[in-house]
Each structure stands twice: as structure tokens, then as C-alpha cells.
Amino acid sequence: MPETLPLTRPDDWHLHFRDGGMLQGTVPATARVFRRAIVMPNTVPPVVNAGHAAAYRTRILDAVPAGVDFEPLMVIYLTDATTARDIAEAAASGIVFGAKLYPAGATTNSDSGVRDPAGIMHLYEALEKHDLPLLLHAEVTEAEIDVFDREKVFIDRYLNDIRARFPALRIVFEHVTTLEGVQFVRDAGELTAASVTPQHLMMNRNDLLVGGVHTHNYCLPVLKRRDHQQVIQQAVLSGHPRFFLGTDSAPHARHRKEAACGCAGCYSAPAALELYATFFEECNALDKLEAFASHFGPDFYRLPRNSDTVTLVRESWQVPDSQEMDGQPVVPWQAGRTLHWKVR
């Protein structure tokens, strides 16, 4: 087994920094390893246009440690009030790299999201025209739809039609969780890709529910059955170039995560690359890690691959039990677990 593993410096293609005081903790945790990150816009208030994105970007850059080279790739949040002009201005800004569709109520801070994904065809048309990728939280939200079926229903109800009507639109199926989602990406052609989280590679719904509810494994979209997990794993391990790293790292203060609300999100940033390396090694596929983490994402986003490197070394260490952010403890995902790879 190798003792060191050099990699082209990776990027994180789906990430939540939050805002305000939390940035002093979340930004350094990501920038220590990743050169770039697609930054989700579901802050409070949301990032709905290029001006908001520029201001948020400045706040993020102010939190980057001195001497660290890191670039936030901004995203705007689609609402029912978004206009084609908002999209044109975002695309022309040079700092916005996608537009995020949250169905209203689908996840954290999504109340301002789109009520009817079929009712914003003019926005998909504008995104296609300006070559700005559509980033999808691909779930329906109706209470009567089983939570484990919401991704499949979104594909059947909306996504097949969007893909067919806008053939030149780049689409990222964020945090794919189902065999139907994987199959959609495989079948939809070169302009459709998916980000894959460490939790959906390494866990299934047993890890959430067996022996009690494990709140720190709760995320949205929720973990699915083992057979769905296996299909995601197979897509990644096959080296398919349209499945790439996106942590969906999403911090919540401990008292909110361990409360009755059960806030959704796994804060994986403190150990993200090491967790992916653990998965690939357990599957005897460390040779596939670099392309997944460092090549496929920039290729799809039409950005250059990074020229610098990071090195993983074989070293045992424990994921911290807690990290203080904005005066509150935040529990990292897999807190207390001993890992055997560490970024030098």
C-alpha cells in the first residue's frame, strides 16, 4: 500500500459556507485543501443576483487565511421573482458559475425557492442562452410524496422535460442519491453531470435509523437504501467522467443539529478529502480518486484543471469532536473516527 498519494489539487463542486461569523471557521477548513469551490447561495438572505454574489464573495475572501490560494465560485439562487436579466448579468459578471434551483421548502433556507419548477421555463431558456449551468436540488416537496421517492418523482415530473426542451443547457444533478438519478445522468448526455457527497458514498439509511436516529448523519436529500448507495458507488468507481466530488458540507451549530428540528446537513469539510480517500481505498480504487476529485469537475465547468498539488500521507488521526464557529460548537461529520490518510 502506498504511504503517500500526490494529487492534482482538488476542487469542491458543492459547498455551504454559511455567512457572518461562521465564515471564520468554514472557509479555512475548505481552503486548506481545495483550490476552488462552488458556493451554495442559500444564505440568509439568499444570494439572488450578481451584486449579492459579489458582496458574498468579498466576505468569503476576507476569511481566507493569509498565503492560501483559494477561489470561491459563486452561484445565484433562483426564485419566482428571478428575471432573465438577472441571469444575463450573473453570466456576464465573471464570478458567477451557476444558478441553483431549490424547490421551495426542500432543504435548509429554501423557503425563497421556486414553487413550481415547471413554471420557470423562461429562466431555463436564459440559462441555456448564456451558458450558465443549472444546479438542481432535484426533489419534490409535497407532504404526501414519500421522502425516499422525492428524487425519482422530480425526475419524472420535471427533469426529463427540462432536459429535452433545453438540449444545450448544462445541468448538474447535485448530491445524487438514487439509482434513478444516476441513470438519468448516465443517459442524459455530455451536458449533464452529478456531484457526489462522501455521506452518500459511505452511508445508507441504516446509518441514519438503525439503533436510534443518528442526527449527525441526517442530510437532505435523505440517505437511501443500500441498493441506491451501491449504484452511486459503481458510477464513481467506474471512473465515469460526469460524476465528481461535491461535499455538500453544511455546518449547523450543535444545539440546532441535536434538537427536535433535526437540522439537515453533514459538516464534512474538516476531513473531506481524507474521507473520500478512505472510501476509495476500501474499494481498492485509490487510482480513481484523482480524476474524481481533481479532473472531472473542472472539465465539466469548462475551467482549467489546477496546476498545483496536494499530498495525502498515511497517518492515523481522529476527526475532531467539535469545532467552535461564531461562538457555538459545530460537530464535524464522522467526529471521533480514526482515519488513516491525512493531507500533508
| 295 marked as binding residue | no
User: Which is nearest to 292 in space by CA: 6, 15, 2, 11?
Assistant: 11
Strand order in the sheet with 309-318: 4-8, 309-318, 338-343
Question: Helices 50-62 and 84-92, interaxial angle, to 10°?
Answer: 40
Query: How far from 164 is each of 109, 129, 160, 282, 322, CA to CA, in Å?
Result: 29, 15, 6, 38, 46
Is 321 part of the annotated catalytic residue set?
no
| 248 marked as binding residue | yes
**Is residue 171 a contact partner of residue 188, using CB atoms and an 8 Å limit?**
yes
**One of 11, 12, 86, 248 is an active-site residue; which one?**
248
| 279 marked as binding residue | no
Cα gap 162→134, rounded to integer Å? 10
| 14 marked as binding residue | yes
| 245 marked as binding residue | no
Cα gap 84→65, rounded to integer Å? 36
| 18 marked as binding residue | yes
| 240 marked as binding residue | no
| 129 marked as binding residue | no
| 17 marked as binding residue | yes
| 150 marked as binding residue | no
- Scanning the structure block, which residue is given the C-alpha cell 437540522? 263
Nine cell digits for residue 93: 459578471
| 223 marked as binding residue | no
How big is the CA angle at 218 (ends 255 and 39), to the nearest 5 degrees?
A: 85
- Tell me the HSE value of 17 on the side-chain side, using a 13 A CA sphere: 35
| 179 marked as binding residue | no
DSSP per-residue codes, 194-211: EEE-HHHHH--HHHHHTT
User: Which is nearest to 38 in space by CA: 279, 258, 303?
Assistant: 303
Annotated binding site for Zn(2+): 14, 16, 100, 137, 175, 248
Annotated binding site for substrate: 16-18, 42, 137, 220, 252, 264
Q: Which residues are catalytic?
A: 248
Annotated binding site: 14, 16-18, 42, 100, 137, 175, 220, 248, 252, 264
